[in-house]
Structure 1
Amino acid sequence: MSILYLTALAKVLLCAIILSLASFEDWRTREISDIFWFVMGSCGAILTAIEMVMDFSLNRLIVLALSVAACLALGFGLYYVGFFGGADAKCLWCLGVTLPYNPTSSLGLNALGPQNPIFSISIFNNSILTAALLALGIACFNAIRRIRGPLFSGEEESSLWRRSIALVLGYKMRVSRALSKKDFYFPLEEFVIEDGGVKRRFRLLTRCLDDDPYIKLKELVDKGVVKGDDEIWVSPAIPLIVNITVGFFIALFYGDLVLAIAKGLLNLIL
C-alpha cells in the first residue's frame, strides 16, 4: 500500500466527513463554524505537501498552483457579487488546497464520466450545475403560479431583465413569513416611499449589501406602511455546502458533469 494511496484515501475521507457535517449544519441553521474549514484546510495542506514531496513533478506543481489560484479567484469573485456566502468561499478555498489532484487513479476507482485534471474544479462545476437545478425548479413553480394569476403587482416599472431574473431566483411570499424566516430567505425587492405612496423595486443581489434589508422592511411593517399579508419576492438562502458535497461525490464516482455535457453537445454537433 503506497503513500500516495494512503494520502488520497485520507483526503477523500477528510472531505467526505467535513463536507457531510458542514452540510448538516448549513441545512439546519444556515451557519457553519469556521472550525470545519480550519481542520479541512490545515490537514488537507499537510497531505498535499506529503504528496508533493513523495511524487514531485512540474505537472503536479502546475496543477496545484492552478487549483489554488482558480478556487481563490472563484471564491472571492462569487462572494463579492453575492452568490457565495463566507462559508461557501472558505470551503472552495480548502478544496483548492486539499484536492487539486484527482484521487481516483491513486485509489483505483474507475469513474464513469470525463475527468477534469483539476479535481477541485470538477467539484465546483458539479455543485454549480446541481444548484442550477433549483433555479429550474423555481422557474417551473412560478410558471404554475402564473396560471392562477399575475406574478407581478407593483413591480411593473422594473425592467424586463430584472423581472426575468427574479423568476428563476425566487418567488413571492407573505411579508410576515419572510420576516419570521429571515435566516432562510433573502428579499429580492424593497419597499420605497415615494410621492406619498409605496413603490416596489427589485434588489437582486441583497446578499452582498452591507445593510440588512429586513431592518427597513420591519420598520415599514411597524409603521403600518406595509402589511404582514402583503407579498414580497424572496430568494431561498440556498445551502450551497450541500451542493458542494453532492458535487464532491459526483466528481469522485462519476466525473465532471460540465465536461460530460460539453462532450455530448460536441458529439451532436460534430
Structure 2
Amino acid sequence: MLSWEWARILEYAKIAFTLVFLARFSIEDYRRREVEDPEVYAYVAGSAVFYALSTMIVVLNLPPAYAAVFTALSLTIAPALFTLLYVKGLMGLGDVYVATGLSLSFTYPVLFNETGLPGTPVTTPPIILIILYACASVVIYSIGKALYIAAKHRDLLKGLKPAEKILLPVIAKPMTVEEYLGTRFFYPLTIIEEDGGAVKQRVRLSYDVEKEDYREHQARLKTLVEKGVVKPETRIWVSHGIPFLTLMLLGFAIFIVLGDKPLTMTIQR
C-alpha cells in the first residue's frame, strides 16, 4: 500500500520521466514538426501508470472529492482544448497525446507540493499552468519572429490583405523557391499554379499537416521550375509551424520554477 511518504519520490520520478520525454519530443518537433508514434504511446502509457499511483496515494489520504475534482479538471480541459485545435488543423495528433500525458502525470497539485521545488506551493491544476506558460512563450516567440520578418521583408507585404500582412510574418517566413525545394517538413503558404498557360499565385493562412504532404507541394513547384514558368529565385511564404512541444517543455520548466505565483499575483491585484 502506498503511503503519503511515497509522494515526494513519485513526484520526482514523474518530473524526470517528463523531462526526458519532453526533451526528446522537443528536438523532433523543432526539426520536423512531428514525433514518433511509439514514443508518444510510451509516454502516455507511463503517464497513466503515474496517474494510477498518484490517485492511490490521494484517495488513501484525502477526501475522495479532491481526487474527483482535480481529475475532472485536469483530464477534460487540456485534452479537450488540444483535441479541438487538432480538429481545426492547428495542431498535430502528437500534441494532443502529449497534453493528455501531462494531464495524467500532474493531476494533483498537493502531490507536486511535496517536492519543495521553487514553484511550490501550487493550488491550480498543473496542466493549466503548463499550458498558460507555453502559450505565453508562443506569444513572445511569435511577436519577436514577426517583427524581425516584417522589418526585413517589408517589400513582400505590399499588396497583401490586412489580415495577411499581420498573420504571415507570425506563421511563416519568406524563402526562394530554390531554397524551399531543398527543405524538409516546410509547407508553402504561397500557392503557385499553372492554369491554361497562365501562372496564378495565391496566399493561404493555414495548412493541415495531417492531410498534406510537403513533398507533393515541392514536386509541383519543381515541375513549374523545370518548365520555366517559375523562376528559382522567386520568393514565397513558407511555414514550418510553431514548435509547440518545444515551447511546452519551456512551459513545464517555468512551472517547476514559478508554480502558480504569477497567476496568483495577477488575480490578487
Q: TM-score range by the shorter chain?
A: 0.7 to 0.9
What does 1:88-237 correspond to in 2, within 5 Å? 88-102=95-109, 103-111=111-119, 115=122, 117-146=124-153, 150-152=155-157, 156=159, 158-183=160-185, 185-193=186-194, 196-208=197-209, 210-212=211-213, 213-237=217-241
- The percent of aligned pairs where both chains have the same amino acid is 26
Compared with structure 1, are the counterparts of its residues 216 and 258 closer, same or farther at alpha carbon in structure 2 (3 Å cutoff)?
Answer: farther
What does 1:40-79 correspond to in 2, within 5 Å? 40-56=43-59, 57-79=64-86
Aligned-residue CA RMSD (Å): 2.7
Query: Would the aligned equivalents of 2:133 and 2:251 in 1 still touch at CA under 8 Å?
Result: yes
Cα distance in structure 2, aligned partners of 1:198 and 1:257:
55
One-letter code aligned to 1:58: A
One-letter code aligned to 1:179: L
One-letter code aligned to 2:97: K
| Unaligned runs of at least 5 residues, structure 2 | none
Cα distance in structure 1, aligned partners of 2:38 and 2:261:
30
Query: Would the aligned equivalents of 1:116 and 1:122 in 2 still touch at CA under 8 Å?
Result: no
SS in 2 for 1:140: helix
Cα-to-partner distance string for 1:53-85 (whole Å, 9 max, x where unaligned): 222221222211221112221221222223222
| Unaligned runs of at least 5 residues, structure 1 | none
Aligned residues: 258
Query: Would the aligned equivalents of 1:126 and 1:257 in 2 still touch at CA under 8 Å?
Result: no
Q: How far is the alpha carbon of 1:258 from its aligned partner?
A: 7.3
Compared with structure 1, are the counterparts of its residues 258 and 187 closer, same or farther at alpha carbon in structure 2 (3 Å cutoff)?
Answer: farther
TM-score (norm 2): 0.84
SS in 1 for 2:205: coil
Q: How far is the alpha carbon of 1:194 from its aligned partner?
A: 5.1
Q: How far is the alpha carbon of 1:196 from its aligned partner?
A: 5.0
Cα distance in structure 2, aligned partners of 1:99 and 1:233:
39
One-letter code aligned to 1:121: I
Which of 3, 23, 26 in structure 2 is aligned with 1:20? 23
2:84 is the counterpart of 1:82 = no
Compared with structure 1, are the counterparts of its residues 190 and 28 closer, same or farther at alpha carbon in structure 2 (3 Å cutoff)?
Answer: closer
Compared with structure 1, are the counterparts of its residues 235 and 256 closer, same or farther at alpha carbon in structure 2 (3 Å cutoff)?
Answer: farther
